[in-house]
Protein backbone atom coordinates (compact mmCIF):
# COMPACT_ATOMS: atom_id res chain seq x y z
CA UNK A 1 0.00 0.00 0.00
CA UNK A 2 1.01 3.59 -0.16
CA UNK A 3 2.90 3.73 3.09
CA UNK A 4 3.75 0.05 2.84
CA UNK A 5 6.33 0.87 0.20
CA UNK A 6 8.41 2.78 2.71
CA UNK A 7 7.58 0.34 5.50
CA UNK A 8 8.70 -2.66 3.49
CA UNK A 9 11.99 -1.07 2.64
CA UNK A 10 12.64 -0.36 6.31
CA UNK A 11 11.92 -3.93 7.39
CA UNK A 12 13.32 -5.90 4.48
CA UNK A 13 16.88 -5.75 5.72
CA UNK A 14 18.29 -4.50 2.43
CA UNK A 15 21.36 -2.27 2.32
CA UNK A 16 20.88 1.39 1.47
CA UNK A 17 22.83 1.04 -1.77
CA UNK A 18 20.85 -2.01 -2.87
CA UNK A 19 17.60 -0.21 -2.10
CA UNK A 20 18.57 2.70 -4.33
CA UNK A 21 19.27 0.35 -7.24
CA UNK A 22 15.73 -1.04 -6.89
CA UNK A 23 14.08 2.34 -6.43
CA UNK A 24 12.00 4.35 -8.87
CA UNK A 25 12.26 8.16 -9.17
CA UNK A 26 9.34 10.09 -7.73
CA UNK A 27 8.53 11.56 -11.15
CA UNK A 28 8.09 8.05 -12.60
CA UNK A 29 5.93 6.97 -9.68
CA UNK A 30 3.63 9.98 -9.93
CA UNK A 31 3.29 9.89 -13.72
CA UNK A 32 2.62 6.16 -13.80
CA UNK A 33 0.08 6.24 -10.99
CA UNK A 34 -1.56 9.38 -12.38
CA UNK A 35 -2.01 7.84 -15.82
CA UNK A 36 -3.32 4.60 -14.31
CA UNK A 37 -5.86 6.39 -12.10
CA UNK A 38 -7.22 8.41 -15.02
CA UNK A 39 -7.48 5.19 -17.04
CA UNK A 40 -9.31 3.35 -14.25
CA UNK A 41 -11.73 6.21 -13.72
CA UNK A 42 -12.58 6.72 -17.39
CA UNK A 43 -11.16 5.25 -20.59
CA UNK A 44 -14.16 5.59 -22.94
CA UNK A 45 -13.96 9.30 -23.61
CA UNK A 46 -16.47 11.21 -25.77
CA UNK A 47 -18.67 8.28 -26.73
CA UNK A 48 -21.29 9.22 -29.34
CA UNK A 49 -24.56 7.90 -27.94
CA UNK A 50 -26.45 8.65 -31.16
CA UNK A 51 -24.43 5.95 -32.94
CA UNK A 52 -26.80 3.04 -33.59
CA UNK A 53 -23.93 0.55 -33.55
CA UNK A 54 -24.09 0.71 -29.76
CA UNK A 55 -27.24 -1.41 -30.00
CA UNK A 56 -25.31 -4.35 -31.47
CA UNK A 57 -23.84 -7.21 -29.46
CA UNK A 58 -20.52 -6.20 -27.89
CA UNK A 59 -18.66 -9.49 -27.93
CA UNK A 60 -15.56 -8.18 -29.68
CA UNK A 61 -14.72 -5.53 -27.10
CA UNK A 62 -13.02 -2.21 -27.73
CA UNK A 63 -9.54 -2.43 -29.33
CA UNK A 64 -8.68 0.97 -27.83
CA UNK A 65 -9.61 -0.20 -24.32
CA UNK A 66 -7.66 -3.41 -24.76
CA UNK A 67 -4.57 -1.55 -25.98
CA UNK A 68 -4.71 1.01 -23.15
CA UNK A 69 -5.09 -1.60 -20.43
CA UNK A 70 -2.38 -3.80 -21.92
CA UNK A 71 0.08 -0.90 -22.08
CA UNK A 72 -0.77 0.23 -18.54
CA UNK A 73 -0.55 -3.35 -17.27
CA UNK A 74 2.91 -3.83 -18.75
CA UNK A 75 4.10 -0.52 -17.29
CA UNK A 76 2.72 -1.31 -13.85
CA UNK A 77 4.10 -4.85 -13.89
CA UNK A 78 7.58 -3.54 -14.70
CA UNK A 79 7.33 -0.93 -11.94
CA UNK A 80 6.18 -3.43 -9.31
CA UNK A 81 8.86 -5.89 -10.39
CA UNK A 82 11.45 -3.13 -10.09
CA UNK A 83 10.30 -2.19 -6.58
CA UNK A 84 9.81 -5.82 -5.53
CA UNK A 85 7.06 -8.36 -6.19
CA UNK A 86 7.24 -9.35 -2.52
CA UNK A 87 5.28 -6.19 -1.75
CA UNK A 88 2.18 -7.90 -3.15
CA UNK A 89 2.69 -11.09 -1.14
CA UNK A 90 0.13 -10.20 1.58
CA UNK A 91 -2.60 -10.27 -1.09
CA UNK A 92 -2.11 -14.01 -1.66
CA UNK A 93 -4.88 -14.93 0.77
CA UNK A 94 -6.85 -18.19 0.53
CA UNK A 95 -10.14 -16.37 -0.10
CA UNK A 96 -8.76 -14.26 -2.96
CA UNK A 97 -6.94 -17.28 -4.39
CA UNK A 98 -10.14 -19.36 -4.39
CA UNK A 99 -12.02 -16.55 -6.15
CA UNK A 100 -9.31 -16.34 -8.80
CA UNK A 101 -9.26 -20.11 -9.34
CA UNK A 102 -13.04 -20.35 -9.61
CA UNK A 103 -13.19 -17.39 -11.98
CA UNK A 104 -10.53 -18.97 -14.17
CA UNK A 105 -12.25 -22.36 -14.16
CA UNK A 106 -15.66 -20.96 -15.02
CA UNK A 107 -14.09 -18.91 -17.80
CA UNK A 108 -12.81 -22.12 -19.36
CA UNK A 109 -16.26 -23.69 -18.89
CA UNK A 110 -18.02 -20.58 -20.19
CA UNK A 111 -20.62 -20.72 -22.94
CA UNK A 112 -18.06 -18.68 -24.89
CA UNK A 113 -14.58 -19.46 -23.49
CA UNK A 114 -12.64 -17.13 -25.77
CA UNK A 115 -14.87 -14.17 -24.90
CA UNK A 116 -14.66 -14.94 -21.17
CA UNK A 117 -10.88 -15.31 -21.29
CA UNK A 118 -10.58 -11.89 -22.94
CA UNK A 119 -12.80 -10.32 -20.29
CA UNK A 120 -10.88 -12.18 -17.58
CA UNK A 121 -7.61 -10.78 -18.90
CA UNK A 122 -9.01 -7.23 -18.79
CA UNK A 123 -10.21 -7.73 -15.23
CA UNK A 124 -6.89 -9.25 -14.15
CA UNK A 125 -5.03 -6.23 -15.54
CA UNK A 126 -7.44 -3.88 -13.74
CA UNK A 127 -6.78 -5.78 -10.49
CA UNK A 128 -3.02 -5.50 -11.03
CA UNK A 129 -3.32 -1.76 -11.66
CA UNK A 130 -5.49 -1.27 -8.56
CA UNK A 131 -2.97 -3.08 -6.36
CA UNK A 132 0.07 -1.62 -8.10
CA UNK A 133 -0.93 1.98 -7.39
CA UNK A 134 -0.64 1.23 -3.67
CA UNK A 135 2.84 -0.25 -4.03
CA UNK A 136 4.21 2.36 -6.42
CA UNK A 137 3.13 5.36 -4.31
CA UNK A 138 6.04 6.27 -2.02
CA UNK A 139 3.96 7.83 0.77
CA UNK A 140 0.38 8.79 1.69
CA UNK A 141 1.10 12.39 0.73
CA UNK A 142 2.41 11.38 -2.69
CA UNK A 143 -0.66 9.23 -3.27
CA UNK A 144 -2.93 12.09 -2.19
CA UNK A 145 -1.28 14.57 -4.55
CA UNK A 146 -1.39 12.04 -7.39
CA UNK A 147 -5.07 11.42 -6.73
CA UNK A 148 -5.69 15.16 -6.74
CA UNK A 149 -3.89 15.62 -10.05
CA UNK A 150 -5.78 12.75 -11.68
CA UNK A 151 -9.06 14.10 -10.32
CA UNK A 152 -8.19 17.48 -11.80
CA UNK A 153 -7.70 15.94 -15.25
CA UNK A 154 -11.12 14.26 -15.07
CA UNK A 155 -12.96 17.29 -13.69
CA UNK A 156 -11.46 19.91 -15.99
CA UNK A 157 -12.06 17.85 -19.12
CA UNK A 158 -15.62 17.03 -18.07
CA UNK A 159 -16.54 20.68 -17.49
CA UNK A 160 -14.81 21.76 -20.71
CA UNK A 161 -16.65 19.02 -22.61
CA UNK A 162 -20.02 20.27 -21.38
CA UNK A 163 -19.09 23.82 -22.36
CA UNK A 164 -17.46 23.14 -25.73
CA UNK A 165 -18.98 19.89 -27.11
CA UNK A 166 -22.33 19.46 -25.35
CA UNK A 167 -23.56 17.04 -28.03
CA UNK A 168 -20.90 14.57 -26.76
CA UNK A 169 -21.09 15.50 -23.07
CA UNK A 170 -24.80 15.94 -22.32
CA UNK A 171 -27.54 13.36 -22.79
CA UNK A 172 -30.02 14.22 -25.53
CA UNK A 173 -33.20 12.89 -27.07
CA UNK A 174 -31.08 11.40 -29.88
CA UNK A 175 -29.34 8.89 -27.59
CA UNK A 176 -30.33 5.51 -29.02
CA UNK A 177 -29.87 3.41 -25.87
CA UNK A 178 -30.80 5.77 -23.05
CA UNK A 179 -33.94 6.80 -21.23
CA UNK A 180 -35.60 9.87 -22.84
CA UNK A 181 -35.82 11.39 -19.36
CA UNK A 182 -32.00 11.62 -19.34
CA UNK A 183 -32.01 14.43 -21.88
CA UNK A 184 -30.15 17.44 -20.49
CA UNK A 185 -28.26 15.49 -17.82
CA UNK A 186 -24.49 15.86 -17.82
CA UNK A 187 -22.13 12.96 -18.53
CA UNK A 188 -18.97 14.88 -19.46
CA UNK A 189 -16.35 12.68 -21.10
CA UNK A 190 -18.05 9.55 -19.72
CA UNK A 191 -20.19 7.19 -21.81
CA UNK A 192 -23.24 7.59 -19.52
CA UNK A 193 -24.43 9.82 -16.70
CA UNK A 194 -24.37 6.83 -14.31
CA UNK A 195 -20.66 6.35 -15.06
CA UNK A 196 -20.04 10.05 -14.53
CA UNK A 197 -21.95 10.17 -11.24
CA UNK A 198 -20.17 7.08 -9.89
CA UNK A 199 -16.81 8.68 -10.68
CA UNK A 200 -17.87 11.95 -9.03
CA UNK A 201 -18.75 10.16 -5.80
CA UNK A 202 -15.30 8.55 -5.89
CA UNK A 203 -13.70 11.96 -6.45
CA UNK A 204 -15.55 13.41 -3.46
CA UNK A 205 -14.13 10.60 -1.31
CA UNK A 206 -10.71 11.26 -2.84
CA UNK A 207 -11.05 14.98 -2.12
CA UNK A 208 -11.68 14.29 1.56
CA UNK A 209 -8.49 12.22 1.66
CA UNK A 210 -6.50 14.92 -0.13
CA UNK A 211 -7.79 17.55 2.31
CA UNK A 212 -6.76 15.41 5.29
CA UNK A 213 -3.33 14.30 4.05
CA UNK A 214 -1.97 16.83 1.56
CA UNK A 215 -3.72 20.20 1.16
CA UNK A 216 -7.06 21.32 2.55
CA UNK A 217 -7.81 23.85 -0.21
CA UNK A 218 -6.89 21.44 -2.98
CA UNK A 219 -9.02 18.72 -1.44
CA UNK A 220 -12.06 20.94 -1.09
CA UNK A 221 -11.66 22.21 -4.65
CA UNK A 222 -11.94 18.60 -5.84
CA UNK A 223 -14.94 18.01 -3.57
CA UNK A 224 -16.89 21.06 -4.72
CA UNK A 225 -16.22 20.52 -8.44
CA UNK A 226 -17.16 16.86 -8.21
CA UNK A 227 -20.29 17.63 -6.17
CA UNK A 228 -21.45 20.19 -8.73
CA UNK A 229 -21.05 17.73 -11.59
CA UNK A 230 -22.75 14.99 -9.56
CA UNK A 231 -25.84 17.14 -9.10
CA UNK A 232 -25.87 18.02 -12.82
CA UNK A 233 -25.69 14.32 -13.72
CA UNK A 234 -29.01 13.76 -11.97
CA UNK A 235 -28.16 10.25 -10.78
CA UNK A 236 -30.59 9.34 -8.02
CA UNK A 237 -28.60 6.27 -6.94
CA UNK A 238 -25.34 8.19 -6.51
CA UNK A 239 -27.05 11.09 -4.74
CA UNK A 240 -28.64 8.58 -2.34
CA UNK A 241 -25.48 6.57 -1.70
CA UNK A 242 -23.07 9.46 -1.06
CA UNK A 243 -24.60 10.66 2.24
CA UNK A 244 -25.06 7.04 3.35
CA UNK A 245 -21.38 6.29 2.70
CA UNK A 246 -20.18 9.42 4.50
CA UNK A 247 -22.55 8.94 7.45
CA UNK A 248 -21.78 5.26 7.99
CA UNK A 249 -18.02 5.63 7.72
CA UNK A 250 -18.09 8.64 10.04
CA UNK A 251 -19.94 6.55 12.61
CA UNK A 252 -17.23 3.89 12.22
CA UNK A 253 -14.75 6.50 13.46
CA UNK A 254 -16.83 6.94 16.62
CA UNK A 255 -17.68 3.30 17.30
CA UNK A 256 -14.51 1.23 17.48
CA UNK A 257 -15.94 -2.18 18.43
CA UNK A 258 -15.85 -4.90 15.79
CA UNK A 259 -19.48 -5.95 16.22
CA UNK A 260 -20.80 -2.40 16.01
CA UNK A 261 -18.71 -1.54 12.96
CA UNK A 262 -19.77 -4.73 11.20
CA UNK A 263 -23.42 -3.92 11.89
CA UNK A 264 -22.99 -0.37 10.61
CA UNK A 265 -21.29 -1.52 7.41
CA UNK A 266 -23.23 -4.66 6.55
CA UNK A 267 -26.67 -3.53 7.76
CA UNK A 268 -27.30 -0.92 5.02
CA UNK A 269 -26.05 -3.32 2.33
CA UNK A 270 -28.46 -6.01 3.50
CA UNK A 271 -31.26 -3.44 3.61
CA UNK A 272 -30.51 -2.27 0.05
CA UNK A 273 -30.49 -5.88 -1.15
CA UNK A 274 -33.81 -6.65 0.54
CA UNK A 275 -35.42 -3.54 -0.90
CA UNK A 276 -34.09 -4.24 -4.40
CA UNK A 277 -33.70 -7.91 -5.34
CA UNK A 278 -35.60 -9.06 -2.26
CA UNK A 279 -38.75 -7.47 -3.65
CA UNK A 280 -38.47 -9.79 -6.66
CA UNK A 281 -37.51 -12.98 -4.83
CA UNK A 282 -40.07 -12.63 -2.03
CA UNK A 283 -43.51 -11.37 -3.19
CA UNK A 284 -44.52 -10.38 0.34
CA UNK A 285 -41.57 -7.95 0.47
CA UNK A 286 -42.67 -6.42 -2.82
CA UNK A 287 -46.22 -6.06 -1.52
CA UNK A 288 -45.01 -4.44 1.69
CA UNK A 289 -42.81 -2.00 -0.20
CA UNK A 290 -45.70 -1.17 -2.50
CA UNK A 291 -47.62 0.06 0.50
CA UNK A 292 -44.97 2.60 1.52
CA UNK A 293 -43.22 3.47 -1.75
CA UNK A 294 -44.77 5.28 -4.68
CA UNK A 295 -42.59 3.49 -7.28
CA UNK A 296 -41.19 0.04 -6.48
CA UNK A 297 -40.00 -0.75 -10.00
CA UNK A 298 -36.62 1.00 -9.53
CA UNK A 299 -36.90 2.47 -13.05
CA UNK A 300 -37.91 -0.89 -14.46
CA UNK A 301 -34.96 -2.78 -12.97
CA UNK A 302 -37.22 -5.41 -11.44
CA UNK A 303 -37.75 -6.86 -14.92
CA UNK A 304 -33.99 -7.11 -15.43
CA UNK A 305 -33.57 -8.77 -12.03
CA UNK A 306 -36.27 -11.32 -12.85
CA UNK A 307 -34.56 -12.05 -16.18
CA UNK A 308 -31.19 -12.44 -14.43
CA UNK A 309 -32.57 -14.74 -11.72
CA UNK A 310 -34.24 -16.96 -14.31
CA UNK A 311 -30.92 -17.36 -16.12
CA UNK A 312 -28.94 -17.96 -12.93
CA UNK A 313 -31.18 -20.97 -12.33
CA UNK A 314 -30.34 -22.27 -15.82
CA UNK A 315 -26.64 -22.63 -14.86
CA UNK A 316 -26.59 -22.39 -11.03
CA UNK A 317 -23.26 -24.13 -10.35
CA UNK A 318 -20.84 -22.81 -12.96
CA UNK A 319 -22.56 -19.74 -14.38
CA UNK A 320 -22.27 -18.41 -17.90
CA UNK A 321 -18.69 -17.12 -17.70
CA UNK A 322 -17.36 -13.62 -17.16
CA UNK A 323 -18.64 -11.26 -19.84
CA UNK A 324 -20.47 -14.04 -21.66
CA UNK A 325 -24.07 -13.18 -20.82
CA UNK A 326 -25.15 -9.54 -21.23
CA UNK A 327 -24.83 -7.82 -24.62
CA UNK A 328 -24.04 -11.07 -26.42
CA UNK A 329 -25.92 -12.47 -29.40
CA UNK A 330 -27.14 -15.34 -27.25
CA UNK A 331 -28.83 -13.04 -24.76
CA UNK A 332 -30.05 -10.45 -27.23
CA UNK A 333 -31.49 -12.66 -29.94
CA UNK A 334 -31.84 -16.27 -28.79
CA UNK A 335 -35.23 -17.53 -27.71
CA UNK A 336 -37.19 -14.45 -28.72
CA UNK A 337 -38.26 -12.95 -32.00
CA UNK A 338 -38.65 -9.53 -30.46
CA UNK A 339 -35.71 -7.48 -29.19
CA UNK A 340 -36.75 -5.99 -25.84
CA UNK A 341 -35.02 -3.43 -23.67
CA UNK A 342 -34.35 -6.13 -21.06
CA UNK A 343 -32.44 -8.25 -23.58
CA UNK A 344 -30.32 -5.26 -24.57
CA UNK A 345 -29.36 -4.34 -20.98
CA UNK A 346 -25.61 -4.12 -20.47
CA UNK A 347 -25.83 -5.66 -16.97
CA UNK A 348 -28.38 -6.62 -14.34
CA UNK A 349 -27.98 -3.44 -12.25
CA UNK A 350 -26.99 -5.67 -9.33
CA UNK A 351 -23.45 -6.92 -8.76
CA UNK A 352 -24.50 -9.89 -6.68
CA UNK A 353 -26.80 -11.21 -9.41
CA UNK A 354 -24.11 -10.65 -12.02
CA UNK A 355 -21.58 -12.49 -9.86
CA UNK A 356 -23.90 -15.52 -9.81
CA UNK A 357 -24.38 -15.18 -13.57
CA UNK A 358 -20.60 -15.18 -14.03
CA UNK A 359 -19.65 -18.17 -11.90
CA UNK A 360 -22.77 -19.64 -10.35
CA UNK A 361 -23.98 -19.59 -6.76
CA UNK A 362 -20.72 -21.05 -5.35
CA UNK A 363 -18.83 -18.11 -6.84
CA UNK A 364 -21.23 -15.70 -5.13
CA UNK A 365 -20.42 -17.35 -1.78
CA UNK A 366 -16.67 -17.15 -2.45
CA UNK A 367 -17.03 -13.49 -3.42
CA UNK A 368 -18.85 -12.61 -0.22
CA UNK A 369 -16.12 -14.35 1.78
CA UNK A 370 -13.27 -12.59 -0.04
CA UNK A 371 -14.75 -9.12 -0.53
CA UNK A 372 -17.09 -8.70 2.45
CA UNK A 373 -16.03 -10.90 5.36
CA UNK A 374 -12.25 -10.71 4.85
CA UNK A 375 -12.12 -6.88 4.60
CA UNK A 376 -14.23 -6.60 7.75
CA UNK A 377 -11.71 -8.79 9.53
CA UNK A 378 -8.81 -6.78 8.10
CA UNK A 379 -10.41 -3.52 9.22
CA UNK A 380 -10.67 -4.77 12.77
CA UNK A 381 -7.07 -5.99 12.72
CA UNK A 382 -5.92 -2.56 11.55
CA UNK A 383 -8.12 -0.32 13.69
CA UNK A 384 -9.92 -2.51 16.20
CA UNK A 385 -10.62 -0.63 19.41
CA UNK A 386 -9.32 2.69 18.10
CA UNK A 387 -10.05 5.40 15.55
CA UNK A 388 -9.33 5.38 11.83
CA UNK A 389 -6.34 7.12 10.28
CA UNK A 390 -6.79 8.94 6.96
CA UNK A 391 -5.52 6.06 4.82
CA UNK A 392 -7.70 3.42 6.42
CA UNK A 393 -10.68 5.77 6.22
CA UNK A 394 -10.08 6.25 2.48
CA UNK A 395 -10.05 2.50 1.91
CA UNK A 396 -13.08 2.00 4.14
CA UNK A 397 -15.12 4.61 2.25
CA UNK A 398 -14.21 3.20 -1.16
CA UNK A 399 -14.92 -0.36 0.00
CA UNK A 400 -18.29 0.51 1.53
CA UNK A 401 -19.21 2.56 -1.54
CA UNK A 402 -18.59 -0.52 -3.70
CA UNK A 403 -20.66 -2.76 -1.45
CA UNK A 404 -23.57 -0.33 -1.30
CA UNK A 405 -23.45 0.37 -5.05
CA UNK A 406 -23.50 -3.35 -5.76
CA UNK A 407 -27.19 -3.50 -4.89
CA UNK A 408 -28.05 -1.20 -7.79
CA UNK A 409 -25.13 -1.36 -10.22
CA UNK A 410 -22.68 -3.99 -11.46
CA UNK A 411 -19.42 -3.00 -9.79
CA UNK A 412 -17.79 -6.39 -9.16
CA UNK A 413 -15.58 -8.20 -11.69
CA UNK A 414 -16.02 -5.35 -14.15
CA UNK A 415 -12.68 -3.86 -15.15
CA UNK A 416 -14.53 -1.14 -17.08
CA UNK A 417 -16.08 0.24 -13.89
CA UNK A 418 -14.34 2.95 -11.88
CA UNK A 419 -16.20 1.83 -8.76
CA UNK A 420 -15.00 -1.76 -9.26
CA UNK A 421 -11.37 -0.69 -9.59
CA UNK A 422 -11.52 1.57 -6.53
CA UNK A 423 -13.34 -1.19 -4.62
CA UNK A 424 -10.51 -3.61 -5.42
CA UNK A 425 -7.96 -0.99 -4.42
CA UNK A 426 -9.76 -0.60 -1.10
CA UNK A 427 -9.86 -4.36 -0.46
CA UNK A 428 -6.16 -4.63 -1.28
CA UNK A 429 -5.37 -1.54 0.78
CA UNK A 430 -7.12 -2.85 3.89
CA UNK A 431 -5.29 -6.14 3.50
CA UNK A 432 -1.91 -4.48 3.09
CA UNK A 433 -2.60 -2.29 6.14
CA UNK A 434 -2.74 -5.43 8.29
CA UNK A 435 0.87 -6.14 7.30
CA UNK A 436 2.36 -2.66 7.36
CA UNK A 437 0.20 -0.62 9.71
CA UNK A 438 2.64 -0.72 12.64
CA UNK A 439 5.69 0.03 10.51
CA UNK A 440 3.81 2.80 8.68
CA UNK A 441 2.98 4.53 11.92
Regarding predicted confidence, which is higher, 412 or 16? 412
Domain membership of residue 333 as a residue range: 2-440
Percent of the chain with pLDDT over 70: 81
pLDDT at 172: 80
Q: Specify the number of domains making up the chain.
A: 1
Average pLDDT over residues 207-217: 95
- The answer on pLDDT for 284 being more than 50 is yes
Average pLDDT over residues 45-64: 61
- Lowest-pLDDT range, 78-82, 136-140, 307-311, 317-321? 307-311
Regarding predicted confidence, which is higher, 299 or 268? 268
- Say what the pTM is: 0.89
* Segment 140-195, tens digit of pLDDT: 999 999 999 999 999 999 999 999 988 888 878 766 666 667 778 888 899 888 88
pLDDT at 29: 95
Q: Please give, one letter per residue, the 3-state secondary structure of the chain.
A: CHHHHHHHHHHCCCCHHHHHHCCCCHHHHHHHHHHHHHHHHCCCCCCCCCCHHHHCCCCCCCHHHHHHHHHHHHHHHHHHHHHCHHHHHHHCCHHHHHHHHHHHHHHHCCCCHHHHHHHHHHHHHHHHHHHHHHHHCCCHHHHHHHHHHHHHHHHHHHHHHHHHCHHHHECCCCCCCCCHHHCCCECCCCCCHHHHHHHHHHHHHHHHHHHHHCCHHHHHHHHHHHHHHHHHHCCHHHHHHHHHHHHHHHHHHHCCCHHHHHHHHHHHHHHHHHHCCHHHHCHHHHHHHHHHCCCCCCCCHHHHHHHHHHHHCCCCCCCCCCCCCCCCHHHHHCCCCCCCCCCCCCCCCCHHHHHHHHHHHHHHHHHHHHHHHHHHHHHHHHHCCCCCCHHHHHHHHHHHHHHHHCCCCCCCCCCCCHHHHHHHHHHHHHHHHHHHHHHHC
Question: Is residue 340 very low, low, confident or very high in pLDDT (cuts 50, 70, 90)?
Answer: low
Amino acid sequence: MVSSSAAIRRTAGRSEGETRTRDLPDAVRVLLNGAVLVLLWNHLWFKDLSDRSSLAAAEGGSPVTQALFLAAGVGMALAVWRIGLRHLRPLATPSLALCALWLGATSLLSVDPMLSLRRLTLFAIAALLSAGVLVVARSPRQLALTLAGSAGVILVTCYLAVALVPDLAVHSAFDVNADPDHAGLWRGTFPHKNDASAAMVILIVVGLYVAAVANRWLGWAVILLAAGFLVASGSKTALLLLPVVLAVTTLCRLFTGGAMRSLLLVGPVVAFTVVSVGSVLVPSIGDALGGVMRDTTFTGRTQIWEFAIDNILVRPWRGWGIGAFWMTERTMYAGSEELTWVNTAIHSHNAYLDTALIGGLPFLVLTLAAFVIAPLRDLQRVAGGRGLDAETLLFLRLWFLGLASASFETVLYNGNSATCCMFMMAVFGLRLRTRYAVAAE
